[in-house]
């Protein structure tokens, strides 16, 4: 199965005319690299799961956009071994309030970007229950099933230029120490009004990545990538396990995100020094 039917087609018209031969070659190299990783994933006949068979994801509202709703249904149908839990912000807050002390609830309330709130909640729900947290934008491809991630804990290395640990896919047992450290650090960051050096630092990949050494990050068997051709085509964002692409954004995600988002993009809020209530 090729992803180019949804995103990058060799015959697609680019956003801008490409005159430079080096630019053309760079784009072709990106597409070739992507295609070489776009291979069928080979599943084992049986998995000896130790990770709880629960998938957690969230959106700010119970009313999901139409294509997002379809993506969740596809997630359920293609991973029948799991119970899929879709939380909205009220449910996330209620969960934190049930299991954690006031300072954690207060941190959740004071975070403005929806993605920052969901960062805190995902660390909380995985610490209590374990399982798989996956962003609602992701879709399994290339014959991949999430059961393949249940024999051990997994973290995802972020893109090299960011140097963090990606928070859109996390697989842990209950009471994972790193999840606990992330919760504690977010509470401290909210209390001090911390912004960090990038928008990924207060709650996201910058924070999570701070609890791993460079060696540990390099040894992670999954990593997040994107085709760096946005000036000419639409980028493709994807997660690689070993040498196979296993997850990518569903086709309409960016359009639905812009149309249905509750607040401005978290990077914009961070740049405006407006991430805290």
Give burial (CB, 10 Å; 0-12/13-18/19+) of 213: exposed
27-40+48-261 has which fold? Spore Coat Polysaccharide Biosynthesis Protein SpsA; Chain A (3.90.550)
Q: Which long-range contacts (CB under 8 A, 24 or more apart) does 268-276 make?
A: 269/112, 269/113, 270/113, 270/195, 270/198, 270/199, 270/202, 271/199, 273/195, 274/112, 275/111, 275/112, 275/113, 275/116, 275/195, 275/202, 276/110, 276/111, 276/112, 276/190, 276/193
How do residues 117-175 score in pLDDT, each as one tens digit?
999 999 999 999 999 999 999 999 999 999 999 999 999 999 988 889 999 999 999 99
Residue (of 147, 11, 3, 36) closest to 83 by Cα position? 147
How do residues 85-117 score in pLDDT, each as one tens digit?
999 999 999 999 999 999 999 999 999 999 999
Rg for the chain, CA atoms, rounded: 19
Mean pLDDT along residues 59-65: 97
pLDDT at res. 37: 81
Tokens (6 digits) for 122:
């995902």
Give yes or no for residue 197 having a pLDDT over 50: yes
Pairing of strands 54-58, 131-134: parallel
**0.85 exceeded by pTM:** yes
3-state secondary structure the chain: CCHHHCCCCCCCCCCCCCCCHHHHHHHHHHHHHHHHHCCCCCCCCCCCCCCCCEEEEECCCCCCCHHHHHHHHHHHHHCCCCEEEEECHHHHHHHHHHHCCHHHHHHHHHECCHHHHHHHHHHHHHHHHCEEEECCCEEECCCCCHHHHCCCCEEEECCCCCCCEEEEEEEECCCCHHHHHHHHHHHHHHHHCCCCCCCCCCCCHHHHHCCCCHHHHHCCCEEEEECCCCCCCCCCEEEEECCEEEEEECCCHHHHHHHHCCCCCHHHHHHCCCCEC
What are the sequence ranges of the domains in the chain?
Answer: 27-40+48-261
The pLDDT mean for the chain works out to 91
Phi, psi of 187, deg, nearest 5: -60, -45
Mean pLDDT along residues 45-68: 98
Phi, psi of 33, deg, nearest 5: -60, -40
pLDDT at res. 12: 43
pLDDT at res. 11: 39
């Amino acid at each position: 199965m090729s992803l180019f039917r949804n995103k990058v087609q060799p015959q697609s018209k680019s956003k801008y005319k490409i005159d430079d031969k080096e630019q053309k070659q760079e784009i072709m190299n990106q597409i070739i690299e992507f295609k070489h990783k776009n291979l069928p994933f080979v599943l084992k006949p049986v998995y000896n799961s130790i990770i709880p068979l629960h998938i957690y994801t969230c959106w700010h509202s119970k009313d999901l956009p139409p294509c997002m709703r379809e993506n969740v249904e596809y997630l359920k149908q293609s991973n029948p071994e799991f119970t899929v839990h879709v939380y909205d912000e009220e449910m996330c807050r209620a969960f934190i309030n049930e299991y954690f002390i006031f300072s954690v609830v207060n941190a959740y309330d004071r975070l403005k970007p929806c993605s920052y709130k969901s960062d805190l909640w995902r660390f909380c729900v995985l610490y209590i229950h374990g399982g798989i947290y996956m962003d609602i934008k992701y879709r399994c491809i290339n014959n991949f099933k999430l059961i393949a991630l249940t024999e051990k804990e997994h973290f995802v290395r972020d893109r090299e230029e960011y140097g963090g640990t990606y928070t859109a896919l996390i697989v842990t047992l209950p009471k994972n120490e790193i999840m606990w450290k992330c919760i504690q650090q977010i509470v401290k960051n909210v209390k001090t009004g911390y912004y960090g050096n990038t928008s990924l630092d207060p709650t996201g990949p910058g924070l999570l990545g701070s609890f791993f050494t460079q060696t540990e990050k390099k040894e992670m068997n999954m990593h997040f990538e994107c085709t760096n051709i946005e000036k000419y085509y639409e980028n493709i964002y994807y997660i690689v396990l070993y040498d196979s692409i296993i997850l990518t954004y569903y086709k309409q995600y960016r359009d639905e995100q812009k149309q249905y988002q509750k607040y401005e993009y978290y990077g914009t809020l961070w740049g405006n020094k407006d991430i805290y209530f």
